[in-house]
Structures are given as C-alpha cells and as structure tokens.
C-alpha cells in the first residue's frame, strides 16, 4: 500500500487532512485504519511511496506534496476502463483498487482447484448495519460479468472520494449504511480456460479436451476445471439436478458427485455462512432477466424490489419468480436464510457474449447494482 510518510502527530488532525485532500473525513479514517502510525493513506490519490526526504510534519507540507500526486476521479481512464479480465489481470486490478482506494479491504477466502486465490473485497463503514453480497463469473464463459463488476466497483470508490450522488443516492450514505462484500471472480480456472485454452495445463490437457468434446476452443465451457458446474452444486434440492443432469464431469451442467465437493463452492458457502448478507446478487449471462424466487422461501420484499430493478433498467430487465432449476448458489441462500437473492442474467445473445456488448450491458444494469446497495 502506498502511503505518505508523516509525523504521527500530524494524524491527530484528520479533519483538517480530509479538507486538504478534499475528501470526507470518515472515508479518510476508514482508509487509514490499517495504516502505520507514521504513514497516511490518501484515498483517491495515486501516491507513489515517498522514499526520500523527512516525513511530512505540517498540513501545508501535506498540501504541497499532494498537489504533485495524481488524483483519480470518476472521469479517469482507469476507472471508466472496459476490459476483459483473466485471473491475472483481476489480481492486478484488485491490487490497484486497494492501493488507490485504501478504504477497500481485500482478503483471500479460498483457492481454486489449480490453487488460484479467490478474493473478497469489502467496502463500507464498520458501523454499516446492512450487508450486500455481489459475485461474478460463477460460470466460466460468463466472464463479461467480472468486467461489469470491477468497473462498477471502481466507479463506486471514485464516487465516494468525490462525494457524489449516484442514481439519487449519496455514495457516502451508502458507505455508512451498507457493507458491500464483493467477489469479482468465483471461477478463475474456468475463466482462464475459456479465454486462453489449456496448453499450459499439460497433465489435464487430455481430460479437458475430452470433456469439451474435442471442440477447437473452450467457449462453451461453464464448469470449473474439474468439470463441475459450480452453480448446480449447492445443497438445495441438489438430488433433483443429480438425477436429470450429466452423471460425469462435463463442460457444463454436471452437479458433482455430492454438493460442495469443489473448493470454489466451498469458499463461497463458507463466506456466506460466516457472514450471511441481507441481500445477494449473482451476476450471470444471458437473457436480460432477474430470477428472484426459490420454492416460496424468498421474503415479501423481493417482489417489491424486483419492480424497482425492472424500472431502473428502463424495463429491459424482467423479473422471473421461479424456474425449474435447483442447487444454485442463490437457490441455497434463499432457502437457507429466507433473504433476498437475485440472479441477474446480463445481456442477450449466446454465451460467451461478445465484448462489444459491454457498454450496452453496463448502461442497462449499473442502476440495478446501485439500487441493490440501498435499503
Ligand atoms: Zn451462469
């Protein structure tokens, strides 16, 4: 984390420092929770660690120093960036997000089959009373959901630093009231397989090509690298899916030999069990639909919220109460906790959706994401 070296006494003036940085004091304090005594984190600034010279002692010294640091605003190219992410670029992006916006915390919640880390980002005040969980790329060939999720995350962070209002809600009010738990890449092995193929996985090469029915590329691949569909792998009527879906590993739809044998699903199950959110959003593609019910276990509130989601998307996205599908992450969550859970099927077409649809998808769905943080 890039912080500015300061005399610890200077940090007794956080209110004045917040003014110098033109950011909100509570955001500054949240960012500096993990800073050392002699270091100051400056949210929204690209601070390249100051290696020479004495630590800053005064507000005017800080003011002079910060003028030379780049401020990252909503209009910044990096914030607005639209790009395809494999696992490596997700990790680099997370590093930059937590560096520029140090009020975002990151922790590893598990590893994939191939040992790639699964990360959860958290944004929100310690005192926030509500929790929302958002995840992307449960399904490998739905990787565009990770692009949507990360762009939205950066826009939220920038809006906080600028004290902006988004879709009629103050970003800082959202920060105070709602804690966001965010897993941008649930299935890194699968996403990398779809994007880059299996040449690097010599020992798995034959297995993967057989499961993929020897097609020339892996664009149809939804499962994790063991050929288990992570979203048919949770303990909510799992046996129904087991009876009617493939009985062996496959590029899609195999629910596993039992629920929760796969490390990616175990990590997500543990995350939710440890800290159940009040509302859960799972990003998938495609269909421009939002599934919101499961076996009548969903709360009353979901039917009201879905009308709002529809309206905020300009009625492009339509709520669907139930479908004949079980053992999904969201199905399990609703059944287990009786709380709001939504699967948003982004975009329309054939998976993987082509990236040129990104801007259109983002424009139609960012309002839903913002609204999901408000209670
Ligand atoms: Zn999906």
Q: Yes or no: say if 56 and 6 are a contact pair by the CB < 8 Å rule.
A: yes
Report the catalytic residues. Answer: 345
**pLDDT at position 3, please?**
86
Q: How many angstroms separate the alpha carbon of residue 139 from the centre of ligand 1?
A: 5
**pLDDT at position 188, please?**
98
Question: pLDDT tens-digit profile of 124-175?
Answer: 999 999 999 999 999 999 999 999 999 999 999 999 999 999 999 999 999 9
**pLDDT at position 195, please?**
98
Q: How confident is the model at residue 84 (pLDDT cuts 50, 70, 90)?
A: very high
Q: What is the mean pLDDT of the chain?
A: 96
Query: Helices 59-66 and 14-21 sit at what angle, rounded to 10 degrees?
Result: 30
Q: What is the mean pLDDT of residues 89-101?
A: 97
Q: Yes or no: say if 143 and 195 are a contact pair by the CB < 8 Å rule.
A: yes
Inform me whether the pLDDT recorded for 255 exceeds 90: yes
Inform me whether the pLDDT recorded for 2 exceeds 80: no
Inform me whether the pLDDT recorded for 58 exceeds 80: yes
Q: Yes or no: say if 148 and 365 are a contact pair by the CB < 8 Å rule.
A: yes
Q: How many angstroms separate the alpha carbon of residue 265 from the centre of ligand 1?
A: 14
Q: How many angstroms separate the alpha carbon of residue 232 from the centre of ligand 1?
A: 10
Q: What is the mean pLDDT of residues 2-21?
A: 94
Nearest to 263 by CA among 158, 108, 141: 108
Q: Which of 45-49, 223-227, 228-232, 342-346 has the lowest mean pLDDT?
A: 45-49
Q: What is the mean pLDDT of residues 3-7?
A: 92
| pTM, full prediction | 0.97
Domains of the chain by residue range: 4-71, 77-189+261-372
Q: How many angstroms separate the alpha carbon of residue 301 from the centre of ligand 1?
A: 24
Q: How many angstroms separate the alpha carbon of residue 79 from the centre of ligand 1?
A: 26
Q: How confident is the model at residue 53 (pLDDT cuts 50, 70, 90)?
A: confident
**pLDDT at position 165, please?**
97
**pLDDT at position 161, please?**
97
Please state the three-class secondary structure of the chain as a single string.
CCCEEECHHHHHCHHHHHHHHCCCHHHHHHHHHHCCCCEECCCCEECCCCCCCCCECCHHHHHHHHCCCEECCCCCHHHHCCCCCCHHHHHHHHHHHHHHCCCCEEEEEEECCCCCEEEEEEECCCCCCEEEEEEECCCHHHCHHHHHHHHHHHHHHHHHHCCCEECCEEHHHHHHHEEEEEECCCCHHHHHHHHHCCCCCHHHHHHHHHHCCCCCCCCCCCCCCCCCCHHHCCCCCHHHHHHHCCCCCCCCCCCCCCCCCCHHHHHHHHHHHHCCCCEEEEEEECCCEEECCCCCCCCCHHHHHHHHHHHHCCCCCEEECCCCCCCCHHHHHHHHHCCEEEEEEECCCCCCCCHHHHHHHHHHHHHHHHHHCCC
**pLDDT at position 191, please?**
98
Q: How many angstroms separate the alpha carbon of residue 367 from the centre of ligand 1?
A: 21
Inform me whether the pLDDT recorded for 293 exceeds 80: yes
**pLDDT at position 51, please?**
60
Q: What is the mean pLDDT of residues 60-84?
A: 94
Q: How many angstroms separate the alpha carbon of residue 269 from the centre of ligand 1?
A: 17
**pLDDT at position 50, please?**
64
Percent of the chain surpassing pLDDT 90: 95
**pLDDT at position 202, please?**
83
* Number of CB atoms found within 10 A of residue 344's CB: 27
Q: How many angstroms separate the alpha carbon of residue 257 from the centre of ligand 1?
A: 20
Percent of the chain surpassing pLDDT 70: 98
CATH fold of 77-189+261-372 = Aminopeptidase (3.40.630)
């Amino acid at each position: 984390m890039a912080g500015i070296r300061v005399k610890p006494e200077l940090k007794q003036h956080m209110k004045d420092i917040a003014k110098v940085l033109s950011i909100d004091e509570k955001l500054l304090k949240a960012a500096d929770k993990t800073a050392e005594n002699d270091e100051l984190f400056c949210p929204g600034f690209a601070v390249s660690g100051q290696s020479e010279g004495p630590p800053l002692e005064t507000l005017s010294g800080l003011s002079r120093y910060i003028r030379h640091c780049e401020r990252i605003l909503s209009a910044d190219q990096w914030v607005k960036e639209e790009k395809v992410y494999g696992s490596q670029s997700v990790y680099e992006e997370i590093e930059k997000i937590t560096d520029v916006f140090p009020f975002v915390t990151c922790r590893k919640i598990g590893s994939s089959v191939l040992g790639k880390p699964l990360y959860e980002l958290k944004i929100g005040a310690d005192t926030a009373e509500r929790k929302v969980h958002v995840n992307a790329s449960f399904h490998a060939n739905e990787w565009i959901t990770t692009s949507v999720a990360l762009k939205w995350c950066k826009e939220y962070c920038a809006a906080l630093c600028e004290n902006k209002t988004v879709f009629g809600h103050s970003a800082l009010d959202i920060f105070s009231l709602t804690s966001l738990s965010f897993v941008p890449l649930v299935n890194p092995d699968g996403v990398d397989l779809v994007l880059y193929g299996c040449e690097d996985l010599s020992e798995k090469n034959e297995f993967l090509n057989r499961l993929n029915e020897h097609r020339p590329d892996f664009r149809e691949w939804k499962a994790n690298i063991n050929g288990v569909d992570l979203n048919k792998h949770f303990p909510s009527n799992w046996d129904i899916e087991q009876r009617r879906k493939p009985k062996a590993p496959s590029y899609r739809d195999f629910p596993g030999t039992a629920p929760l044998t796969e490390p990616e699903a175990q990590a997500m199950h543990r995350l939710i069990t440890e800290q159940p959110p009040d509302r859960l959003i799972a990003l998938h593609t495609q269909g421009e639909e939002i599934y919101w019910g499961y076996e009548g276990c969903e709360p009353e509130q979901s039917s009201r919220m879905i009308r709002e989601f529809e309206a905020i998307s300009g009625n492009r996205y339509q709520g669907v109460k139930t479908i004949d599908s079980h053992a999904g992450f969201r199905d399990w969550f609703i059944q287990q906790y009786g709380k709001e859970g939504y699967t948003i099927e982004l975009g329309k077409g054939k998976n993987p959706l082509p990236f040129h649809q990104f801007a259109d998808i983002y424009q139609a769905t960012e309002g839903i994401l913002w609204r999901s943080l408000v209670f």
